[in-house]
Chains A and B, each alone.
Chain A
Amino acid sequence: MSASINPDRLSPALRTEALEQLLTERGLVDPAVMDKFISTYENDVGPLNGAKVVAKAWTDPEYRARLLAEGTSAIKELGFAGPQGEHIVVLENTDTVHHVVTCTLCSCYPWPVLGLPPGWYKDPAYRARIVREPRAVLAEMGLTLPDDVEVKVWDSSSEVRYLVLPLRPEGTEDASEEELAGHVTRDMMVGVAR
């Protein structure tokens, strides 16, 4: 490094800019491709994708069966695939079982169906505590579960990403698939809401 530069001034913004310049100059990164990736994850890929998957599973029993048996291919049927979606396992909530997802080692997350993870999902406290005391953490996040509901915590691995299939809300028997998708939130699909 240049002797005159105080290392403290090398902010992450400067380091990132430097890295981008060097990688671009060496032909290792195509700026147009990179801009497209960023724009896609900033604007196009998000929990709405997962909501559409859930709504279809709520209205189409055959799709639901496929989704639970082979999540990745059933999700791909709706056109959602890509990085961090190579192996998605769908976890079915029931009246007596509630699933919640974390990634204790880093912050793996099923990008094609949920987009990029929110701040709390990446937080060291959530990642450590949801495993040790899931009921307490869920209660702090606004979800108090009855004692007769079993809580299962799933830790994402290097291969597997998880998506929770929430319970269909009561009183939505007449709702269309599109209307149902509007009931599905990101937090329900991670398992911190029900």
Chain B
Amino acid sequence: MTSPVLEIDGPAAPPRDNGELVFAEPWESRAFGLAVTLHDAGSFTWDDFRDHLVARIADWERSHPEGECYSYYRCWLDALESVVAERGLVGADEVADRAGALAQRPAGHDHEHAEGHGHGHGHGH
């Protein structure tokens, strides 16, 4: 590397994520990436997205199935779905229909789609 932005080794290299996975599961990184990319492209302002995120987190904290663990990125995904629906980009029913179709793929599809979908790490957590 000719001009490293970050020192990977050496004394000035504390663990970049301090020993924690940044994303616990591959879908979390995709949901993160979608929001950041859409914002970057001007599809919504960050304040818009944050308002939806704050509302979803408050909803969960007010009421959730007993025993369900808090998932920040689940709230993030809910917020993303609602902000893209509000903006008329993708409707909630469209997401559900497509997800339903994806659910009916035969077992083993993951292997064909493994490349580029962030699979390969995070499984088993």
Residues of A within 8 A of B (CB): 1-2, 4-5, 7, 9-23, 26, 28-31, 33-35, 37-38, 41-44, 46-49, 51-52, 55, 79, 83-84, 105-108, 115-116, 118-119, 122-124, 158, 178-179, 181-182, 184-187
Contact of B23 (CB < 8 Å), options: A4, A37, A42: A42
- Listed A/B pairs (25) with beta-carbon separation below 8 Å: A4-B100, A5-B100, A5-B104, A10-B103, A12-B71, A12-B77, A15-B99, A17-B27, A19-B31, A26-B89, A26-B90, A28-B38, A37-B36, A38-B33, A48-B6, A48-B16, A79-B5, A83-B39, A106-B53, A107-B72, A124-B70, A178-B10, A181-B12, A181-B14, A182-B13
Contacts of A179 on B, CB cut-off 8 Å? 11-12
A31 to B118: give the CA distance in the assembly, Å.
Answer: 12
Contact of A12 (CB < 8 Å), options: B38, B58, B70, B74: B74
5 A-B pairs with least C-beta separation: A46-B16, A18-B98, A5-B100, A13-B27, A18-B99
* Chain B binding surface, main DSSP class: helix
Contacts of A186 on B, CB cut-off 8 Å? 14, 18
Contact of A106 (CB < 8 Å), options: B25, B39, B50, B98: B50
Residues in B1-57 with C-beta less than 8 Å from chain A: 5-7, 10-18, 20, 22-27, 29-34, 36-41, 43, 46-47, 50, 53-54, 57
Contact with A along B70-107 (1 / 0, CB 8 A): 11111001001100100001100111111111111000
A185 vs chain B, min Cβ distance (A): 6
Contacts of A17 on B, CB cut-off 8 Å? 27, 30, 99, 102, 117
Question: Given A1-B96, A14-B99, A23-B84, does the pair A48, B13 have CB atoms closer than 8 Å?
Answer: yes
Contact of B102 (CB < 8 Å), options: A14, A49, A115: A14
Contact check, A15 vs B6: say whether CB atoms are below 8 A apart. no
A123 to B75: give the CA distance in the assembly, Å.
Answer: 12
Contacts of B101 on A, CB cut-off 8 Å? 2, 18
Q: Who on chain A is nearest to B46 by CB?
A: A83
Contacts of B66 on A, CB cut-off 8 Å? none
Residues of B within 8 A of A (CB): 5-7, 10-18, 20, 22-27, 29-34, 36-41, 43, 46-47, 50, 53-54, 57-58, 61, 70-74, 77, 80-81, 84, 89-90, 93-104, 116-118
Contact check, A185 vs B43: say whether CB atoms are below 8 A apart. no
A17 to B27: give the CA distance in the assembly, Å.
Answer: 8
A107 to B61: give the CA distance in the assembly, Å.
Answer: 14
Contact check, A28 vs B16: say whether CB atoms are below 8 A apart. no
B88 vs chain A, min Cβ distance (A): 11
Contact check, A37 vs B74: say whether CB atoms are below 8 A apart. no
A133 vs chain B, min Cβ distance (A): 18
A116 to B23: give the CA distance in the assembly, Å.
Answer: 9
